Amino acid sequence: MHARLKILISTLTLTMLLGATAAHGDPVRCEQVVAAGQTFFNGAGFDGDVYSSIGDLAVSVAVLEQAETGSGLRAATAHTFTAMEGSLVFSTRDNAMLKPVNAAGLFELNTQALIVEGGHGQLSIDGLVDFARGWARWTAKGTFCQD
């Protein structure tokens, strides 16, 4: 009987907490993001298009720092994602790892992107970068929360 009482109290407490949260309204709206993008080298960074579960976006990628490692390149980058109608959606600060696939300039890309402006959340970006031809193709998944 004692165990049943604890379960009942826990259930009632949880119900009250959930009811209080719903009554006050949760101002944060989070969405799961799945995206595919292609960018092209513009002389300083990359620009391109993203097709995502939160809408079609333009993206600009800036390389903030880069360093060679024993297994490839490590880079600090920033992405600015903009809705096609021109309003800023969000910006990220990222840690990217690029590992060579072949000697012709093709690299495997793995990036962890933290959303720092226009919302919050995190994206994992994986793909290929071809430095010889000047393009990157990638997919992203994660969570985007609007404040």
Q: Tens digits of per-residue pLDDT, 79-130?
A: 999 998 777 789 999 999 999 999 899 999 999 999 999 999 999 999 999 9
Strand partners for 72: 69
d(CA 4, CA 27): 35
DSSP 120-138: EEEEEEEEEEETTTTEEEE
Yes or no: say if 110 and 127 are a contact pair by the CB < 8 Å rule: no
Secondary element (H or E) of residue 23: helix 2-24
**pLDDT at residue 11 above 60?**
no
Three-state DSSP at 17 gives helix
